[in-house]
Structure 1
Amino acid sequence: MAGQNYSMVTELILMGFSNFPRHLLPAFFLLYLLMYLFTLLGNLLIMATVWREHSLHTPMYLFLCALSTSEILFTVVITPRMLVDMLSTHHTVTWAACASQMFFSFTFGFTHSFLLMIMGYDRYVAICHPLRYHVLMSNRGCARLISWTWAGGSVMGMMVTLIVFHLTFCGSNVIHHFFCHVLSLLKLACGNENSSVTLGVILVCVSALMGCLFLIVISYVFIVAAILRIPSAEGRHKTFSTCVSHLTVVIVHYGFASIIYLKPKGPHSMDSNTLMATTYTVFTPFLSPIIFSLRNKELKNAIKKNIQRKLIPLSS
């Protein structure tokens, strides 16, 4: 970070939910706390089930474990800070804490999108090239793909963070958000380059998200074409059912992300922006384990079997 950042603004004040009616905060706190705990437990349950069941040791579930890991880390970075904000009117953070918060949120966010993209590629290979599946999606190849998603997410997170914190910040040091949200932080920057950097950051985020979405859509175009060539209705339904959970999570992920990055300009209040941010930071990780557990029959049966295996010894 440039030295002039420290000389002009030494710390940042996160307002969080300080403008919300105080009588509503206990209900919000309890709701988000329960969702946070469910997100952690749900993703840990998925990871433990895949680990224990040898029938699930396939590329699709290996990618699912990587996705659960990304969601857990993203939730751990963001949600506790939000819960703390609900218990206090405001609090201050240092530049280093703000930069690390932004870096990890971007890293896990981009990694999540990259993982959804390669999960779409996995479904494309499985349905369109089944005879070559074990060659194209070998264990080493899957591990390499997962490593590239984490590396790519880290590079993107570092790049955006360095661009933002290279700016000069002066004047107000109040952020109307519950964490160092990039768009809220950019409003505090001064100088002629502020608008161009803001536009650049938005373009980078939108380009990465839309690029991944475009490749996912292309994968499903080929998948649908292959499914339509299956003669029996039962075969078409069975094949498409392997894609339903992934496709649903993609819709949820990009639907909530568009609320943050593609919402139309207008007279949005600070409180409405904060609430809209919770849709992406809280609801998306909360819904993913539910969708995969309920819409994936193989995983759902494995979870039931593991729970019954744990309960039977206790009852006996």
Structure 2
Amino acid sequence: MNNAHLGKNDSRYFFFFIPSHQHHNMIPGNDTQDSEFLLQGLSMKPELQPLIFGLFLLMYLITGFGNLLIILAVSSDSHLHTPMYFFLSNLSFVDICFTTTTILKMLINIQSQRKAISYEGCISQMYFYMLFAMLDDFLLTVMAYDRYVAICHPLHYTVIMNPRLCGLLVLLSWLISTLLSLLETLLVLRLSFCTDLEIPHFFCEIKQIVQLACDDTLLNDTIMYFTAVLLGGGPLAGILYSYSKIMFSIHGISSPQGKYKAVSICASHLSVVFLYYCSSLGVYLSSATAPHNSHSSATASVMYTVVTPMLNPFIYSLRNKDIKRALKRVIHIKREIVLGLKKHP
């Protein structure tokens, strides 16, 4: 094994090495597109790889199945064709895409015992990761606005939250997320990378990639932090404003039943918001307090890239009678189809 391009303690960890005839690709300049990045993953210990594979495969399947059930329940039940469930089904779709973007390549790499990801694959993964993370952010904000209108302006709810506005809010979320992700990706594409292309993460995260560049990254860092403040501060401020108005409205409700109903409407969404922002803040704090220990940041990232999308269906279904009823109906229909197929093979 040629260890010229590995750190002095790194050679014993890697399942994959770069053959000597590929070394010329891993230099600054126009040949960067032909090179490969190495995803170090959550742990470099070979004995932990089967455990990580099994755990993440299970979480991925639960996330996909749970969110798919939410989408099926909302689409199949006419009682759930309301703005709240329209936004929820969009959030479920985005969460499926989000976890697929981050987890799937890691599972493939563990199974094949290779840590490599192509330059094109890494850039694509980075773009879609940013796209779906931003969409999560915007959809949670839109859902908070929907709860605000439902509780603070109940008599005008159907007029304000009409299908046209709901569609427009989702379309704007996609448009802004797509453009911002594209901007950051194009700025990364102009960079050349050094010979050390090891990413201490389980997916291609933009901050980790920019740190590997040989060029001046001031513009990238500026846009990256500006976008983080814009997406972290703006939507969060909107959510906090919506819930401050909601709290005042709930305080003014005289009947205990009315208060309970208003609180139960918001509880699920507020739980998801709390999970999403606390885990995101955890990632930021872990990378800020321990900048040289990037593996702690990768571990913290698991919370909002894997755990939060996995818990969303449970949070929304456990406290929601409408979703429970729709899910029972979907499961009943599936059972009838299976029984019908068995009777008529």
The alignment's TM-score, normalised by the length of structure 1, stands at: 0.91
CA distance, structure 1, for counterparts of residue 94 and residue 269 of structure 2: 15
How far did 1:215 drift?
0.3
Out of 246, 256, 268, the residue aligned to residue 269 of structure 2 is 246
1:18–1:106 CA distance, 2 compared to 1 (3 A): closer
How far did 1:195 drift?
4.4
CA distance, structure 2, for counterparts of residue 94 and residue 12 of structure 1: 4
CA distance, structure 1, for counterparts of residue 29 and residue 89 of structure 2: 39
Out of 268, 293, 296, the residue aligned to residue 320 of structure 2 is 296
1:205-244 → structure 2 map (5 Å cutoff): 205-244=228-267
Contact 2:94 2:136 in 1 (8 A): yes
Structure 2 alignment gaps of length 5 or more: 1-27
How far did 1:309 drift?
4.7
Aligned CA RMSD, in angstroms, stands at 2.2
Out of 142, 157, 160, the residue aligned to residue 166 of structure 2 is 142
Corresponding residue SS for 1:189: coil
How far did 1:89 drift?
4.6
1:25 paired with 2:49, answer: yes
Aligned length: 312
Larger Rg: 2
How far did 1:287 drift?
1.1
How far did 1:84 drift?
1.9
CA distance, structure 2, for counterparts of residue 153 and residue 69 of structure 1: 15
How far did 1:100 drift?
1.3
Structure 1 stretch 116-125 or stretch 196-205: which is displaced more? 196-205
1:122 paired with 2:139, answer: no
Task: State the match for 2:224 in structure 1.
Answer: 201
Contact 2:109 2:116 in 1 (8 A): no
Percent identity between matched residues is 38
Paired letter, 1:232: S
Structure 1 stretch 170-179 or stretch 101-110: which is displaced more? 170-179
1:113-167 CA-partner distances (Å, limit 9, x unpaired): 1011000000111111111111111112111111111111111111111122223
1:1-20 → structure 2 map (5 Å cutoff): 5-7=29-31, 10-17=34-41, 19-20=43-44
Out of 164, 167, 170, the residue aligned to residue 188 of structure 2 is 164
CA distance, structure 1, for counterparts of residue 141 and residue 293 of structure 2: 34
Contact 2:275 2:304 in 1 (8 A): no
Out of 256, 279, 283, the residue aligned to residue 256 of structure 1 is 279
CA distance, structure 2, for counterparts of residue 114 and residue 262 of structure 1: 22
Contact 1:85 1:178 in 2 (8 A): no
1:179-223 CA-partner distances (Å, limit 9, x unpaired): 2111111111123x3245324313312321221111001000001
Paired letter, 2:138: F
Corresponding residue SS for 2:227: helix
Contact 1:16 1:82 in 2 (8 A): no
CA distance, structure 1, for counterparts of residue 172 and residue 219 of structure 2: 29
Out of 81, 86, 89, the residue aligned to residue 62 of structure 1 is 86
Contact 1:202 1:261 in 2 (8 A): no
Contact 2:32 2:119 in 1 (8 A): no
Paired letter, 2:260: H
1:269 paired with 2:290, answer: no
Paired letter, 1:114: F
1:252–1:82 CA distance, 2 compared to 1 (3 A): same
CA distance, structure 2, for counterparts of residue 226 and residue 299 of structure 1: 25
1:19–1:112 CA distance, 2 compared to 1 (3 A): closer
Structure 1 alignment gaps of length 5 or more: none
CA distance, structure 1, for counterparts of residue 119 and residue 331 of structure 2: 45
Task: State the match for 2:121 in structure 1.
Answer: 97
CA distance, structure 2, for counterparts of residue 312 and residue 197 of structure 1: 55
Structure 1 stretch 139-148 or stretch 159-168: which is displaced more? 159-168
How far did 1:280 drift?
2.1
Task: State the match for 2:20 in structure 1.
Answer: none
The alignment's TM-score, normalised by the length of structure 2, stands at: 0.84
